[in-house]
Amino acid sequence: MATASPLPMPMSQLCRAVTEWVESVRALTQPAEVQWCEGSAAERDGLIARLVREGQLLRLNPRHFPNCHLYRSDPGDVARVEHLTYVCTRSKADAGPNNNWLDPQAAHAKMRELFRGAMRSRTLYVIPYCMGPLDSPFARCGVEITDSAYVALNMLIMTRAGRAALERIERERTFVRGLHSVGELDPERRFIMHYPEELAIESFGSGYGGNALLGKKCHALRIASWQARAEGWLAEHMLIVGLRNRRGETHYLAAAFPSACGKTNLAMLIPPDSLPGWEVFTVGDDIAWLHPGADGRLWAINPEAGYFGVVPGTNRRTNRNAFEMIRRDTLFTNVALTADAQPWWEGLPAGTPQTDWRGRPYDPARGPAAHPNSRFTVDARRNPACSPQLNDPHGVPLSAIIFGGRRRELAPLVYEARDWAHGVLVGASMASQSTAAATGEVGVIRRDPMAMQPFCGYNFADYWRHWLEVGARLRQPPRIFHVNWFRQDSQGRFLWPGFGENLRVLAWMIERCAGRADARDGRIGLLPHPAGIDTRGLSLEPETLRALLAVDVPLWRQELAETRAYLGQYGERLPQELLHELDRSAAALAR
Ligand code: SAT
Ligand code: MN
């Protein structure tokens, strides 16, 4: 490998703030070389070739999976580490009870010692990137420094990275500083620190997606949510999807679900054959930045340029587009392998795993062959349903916002909030069964307001106030809905088929948005009449649909009491309006 790759521009034209910062990090971390990423295909190929040569990437079967590679992470580094993730604001109250907090000075001092000399004999990669279309007024730039070629490669897929981003930084003279080192991958020496007041991130000791691809959750959600509050917009953990109905109308929806609850599948939904005439366009699968427009509507951009999706469960039936999409030019992390070097994961109808995600001979007694949080990284343009609006600098106008989670019981298939303020309460009350996307126990119900519990960079009480304020500025706010695709019967069977069939529920929402469908007062909000959900071509018993749309009032009273207790921990800072909504909801259930 050559020493430092050429700078993407003559030194004199590079933003001084960037070069000075890179120099100070170089002095602290002592890398063997510095490589500036300029974002070319040749550079991507070079990184892949290097990783293959070093044995860190495995080339997959080129006949079936051309230009696809497998990366196996350290077995102890396979998910986000929320307990080691901190928001470091000067005042602890600004971070709120929803975040781990450290004083910024103390955090910097701790991290400085971890980073000292940490990149010896490694390459320091400098990745200037832009979150959002390069010409969008809503986009924001950052620079990640990392000593992991795998992280650099992911960032080059997931963001608009390289020369053009650096040019924008040069013009704007502001950027988020993200410093990352894999360190020794020691969980005892692993921290993900955020300094929203300084627009800075320091991440040490993990190479996993959400901990290490700093443009993603660290910048585009934790830091961006802070910026968004100051600037009057919202940074959200939401997919964005466009649906064209049989009338030829296109409606855009944004949906917030916790990690590994089907955002990518919904964003890439395939209409079932029994619902002809619909078309689906993916704008984004994980993060949405929402701006009130001059027209009084809420507009959404996807700040990312790729998908970092959960692999297990992906097949022709659950997500045909994703299944096709990840057959070329895809970076797999922690999947299993067949004897002929094809990737394998649970949920594939064919093939036999020979090697598990750790590279050991597969033994079912040791658990699944692919890690439950194994991932694919792929360029969004590979998606056959990719929306042409992905690069629209102003984004797309939202007709609806959807909140949801995994709930075995309680939450019906769908209901609609009475208005924006009620919708904010619906979002703030979200709870979901935990998944493998974060370390910790899987399947326990936990509070996850707006699916932002792990990602809101400031006090939730201030965040809900900000949501209410943004709504007050919208003359045509999106309608807000709540869905639950995961309701089960007493035997643990899912009541709703999910996947492409979810379009039937989205179709009702769109009819609501267009003012063509009525709804009934279901006491927790507005519910469809059973006839409002088109079930033609679906073998769903009428009783099952009734059960899916049923509201168990005593259980909901209990839920509301739990929500009140949960919100109570935010104390005085909680907006009064949210408490009023809670009282209104309680009154509706008391009738
Ligand atoms: O690990 S990521 O945060 O990138 C994916 C997720 O958990 O949503
Ligand atoms: Mn996510």
Give alpha helix (H) positions in 429-575: 460-472, 503-513, 542-548, 553-568
Place of tokens 């901190």: 86
Q: Which atom of ligand 1 is nearest to the CA of 455?
A: 3
Amino acid at 62: P
210: Cβ below 6 Å to ligand 1? Answer: yes
Contact call for residues 511 and 481 (beta carbons, < 8 A): no
Q: How many residues does the structure list for the chain?
A: 591
What would the two tokens of residue 157 be? 């897929």
Q: What is the 3-state secondary structure (H, E, C) of 49-85?
A: HHHHHCCCEEECCCCCCCCCEEECCCCCCCCECHHHE
pLDDT in the model for residue 13: 67
451: which residues sit within 8 A by CB, 6+ positions away?
Answer: 237, 238, 256, 257, 258, 259, 261, 403, 405, 430, 432
Amino acid at 267: A
pLDDT of residue 14: 75
Mean pLDDT of 561-587: 97
217 alpha carbon – ligand 1 mean position (Å): 7
* Side chain identity at residue 224, one-letter code: A
The closest of 508, 509, 250 to 385, measured between CA atoms, is: 250
Give the pLDDT band of residue 6 (cuts 50, 70, 90): low
Domains recognised in the chain with CATH numbers: 14-56+84-231 (3.40.449.10), 236-306+387-589 (3.90.228.20), 307-377 (2.170.8.10)
Catalogue the long-range contacts made by 439-447 (C-beta closer than 8 Å, 24 or more residues apart).
439/78, 439/79, 439/80, 439/81, 439/82, 439/83, 440/82, 440/83, 442/372, 445/407, 447/566
For residue 283, give the nearest of 476, 155, 133 by alpha carbon: 133
Q: What is the mean pLDDT of residues 77-84?
A: 96
Angle of helix 420-428 versus helix 460-472 axis, rounded to 10: 160
Residue 2 has pLDDT above 60, yes or no: no
Ligand 1 probe mutation, 217, 237, 334, most atoms within 8 A of CB: 217
Closest CA to ligand 1's atom 5: 210
Q: What integer is the mean pLDDT of 176-197?
A: 98
Cβ-contact 482, 415 below 8 angstroms: yes
Q: What string of DSSP letters covers 15-32?
A: -HHHHHHHHHHHHHH--S
Scan for tokens 């960037």, then name that residue: 18
Cα-to-centroid distance, 439 and ligand 2 (Å)? 14
Local confidence band at 260 (pLDDT 50, 70, 90 cut-offs): confident
CA angle (590 as vertex; 585, 591 as ends), nearest 5: 105
- Of 257-261, 313-317, 416-420, the least confident: 257-261
HSE at residue 2, side-chain half, CA atoms within 13 A, is 8
Q: Which ligand is nearest to the CA of 211?
A: 1
Q: Which atom of ligand 1 is nearest to the CA of 208?
A: 1
Ligand 2: distance of its center to the CA of 307 in Å?
10
Nearest-CA residue for atom 3 of ligand 1 = 210
Contact 377, 330 (CB under 8 A): yes
Which residue matches tokens 């492409």? Answer: 500
Question: Cα separation of 182 and 212, whole Å?
Answer: 8
Structure tokens at 140: 């924001």
**Which value, in Å, is the radius of gyration of the alpha carbons in the chain?**
23
Q: 85: which strand partners?
A: 192
- Does the active-site annotation cover 37? no
What's the confidence (pLDDT) of residue 562? 96
Contact (CB, 8 A) for 325 and 378: yes
d(CA 262, CA 391): 24
Amino acid code (one letter) for 405? G
Q: Is 216 in the pocket of ligand 1 (CB under 6 A)?
A: yes
Instruction: Note the pLDDT tens digit of each residue in 213-251.
Output: 999 999 999 999 999 999 999 999 999 999 999 999 999
Instruction: Tell which residue, 481, 490, 514, 478, has the closest CA to residue 412.
Output: 481
Residue 477 predicted with pLDDT over 50: yes
User: How far is Cα 80 from Cα 98, in angstroms, rounded to an integer?
Assistant: 16
- Angstrom distance (rounded) from CA 481 to CA 475: 18
Between 307 and 441, residue with greater pLDDT: 307
First-to-final CA distance of the chain: 73
Catalytic residue among 15, 68, 130, 261: 261
CA distances in angstroms from 448 to 96, 287, 429, listed in the order given? 14, 16, 8
Any ligand 1 atom below 6 A from CB of 308: yes
pLDDT (average), residues 543-568: 96
Specify whether the CB–CB gap between 209 and 232 falls below 8 A.
no
User: Which pLDDT belongs to residue 15?
Assistant: 85
pLDDT in tens, 114-152: 999 999 999 999 999 999 999 999 999 999 999 999 999
How remote is the CA of residue 440 from the centroid of ligand 1, in Å? 14
**Is a pLDDT exceeding 90 seen at residue 362?**
yes
Instruction: Choose which residue among 80, 238, 375, 434 to substitute to test ligand 1 binding: the one with the highest number of ligand atoms within 8 A of its C-beta.
Output: 80
CB–CB of 178/214 below 8 Å? yes
Measured in Å, residue 454 CA sits from the centre of ligand 1 at 10
Distance 1 CA to ligand 1 centre (A): 32
Region 414-438 average pLDDT: 96
Do residues 588 and 551 make contact, with C-beta atoms less than 8 angstroms apart? no
pLDDT at 5 over 90: no
Give the number of the atom of ligand 1 that is nearest the alpha carbon of residue 216.
4
Q: Is the Cβ atom of 412 under 6 angstroms away from ligand 1? A: no
Ligand 1 proximity of 217 Cβ (cutoff 6 Å): yes
Cα torsion 258, 262, 266, 272: sign = negative
Q: How far is the CA of 304 from the centre of ligand 1 (A)?
A: 13
Which atom of ligand 1 approaches the CA of 263 most closely?
A: 8
Minimum-distance ligand 1 atom for the alpha carbon of 80: 1
Q: Are 173 and 138 in contact (CB under 8 A)?
A: no
Q: Look up residue 30 and give its two tokens.
A: 């002592």
Please tell me the residue having the least CA distance from ligand 1 atom 4: 210
**Is 382 a pocket residue for ligand 1 (Cβ < 6 Å)?**
no
**Percent of the chain surpassing pLDDT 90:** 95
What local confidence, expressed as pLDDT, does residue 532 receive?
A: 97
Q: Ligand 1 pocket, 237 CB below 6 A?
A: no
Mean pLDDT of 44-72: 98
344 contacts: CB under 8 Å, gap ≥ 6: 335, 336, 337, 338, 351, 352, 353, 369, 370
Atom of ligand 1 nearest to the CA of 213: 4
DSSP code per residue over 471-494: HHT-SSPPEEEEE-TT-B-TTS-B
Q: Candidates 216, 257, 265, 374: which one to mutate for ligand 1, based on the most atoms within 8 Å of Cβ?
A: 216
- Amino acid making up residue 120: R
Q: Is the pLDDT of residue 76 over 60?
A: yes
DSSP β-bridge partners for residue 80: 438
Give percent above pLDDT 70 in the chain: 98
Q: Whose CA is nearest to atom 8 of ligand 1?
A: 259
* Cβ-Cβ contacts under 8 Å for 561 (sequence gap 6 or more): none
Backbone angles phi, psi at 361, to 5 degrees: -55, 135
Residue nearest atom 1 of ligand 1, based on CA coordinates: 210
pLDDT recorded at residue 3: 42
Q: How far is the CA of 259 from the centre of ligand 1 (A)?
A: 6
Mean pLDDT across the stretch 322-334?
98
User: For ligand 1, is residue 262 a contact (CB within 6 Å)?
Assistant: no
CA 205 to centroid of ligand 1, rounded, Å: 17
Q: Is 257 in the pocket of ligand 1 (CB under 6 A)?
A: no
Mean pLDDT of the chain: 96
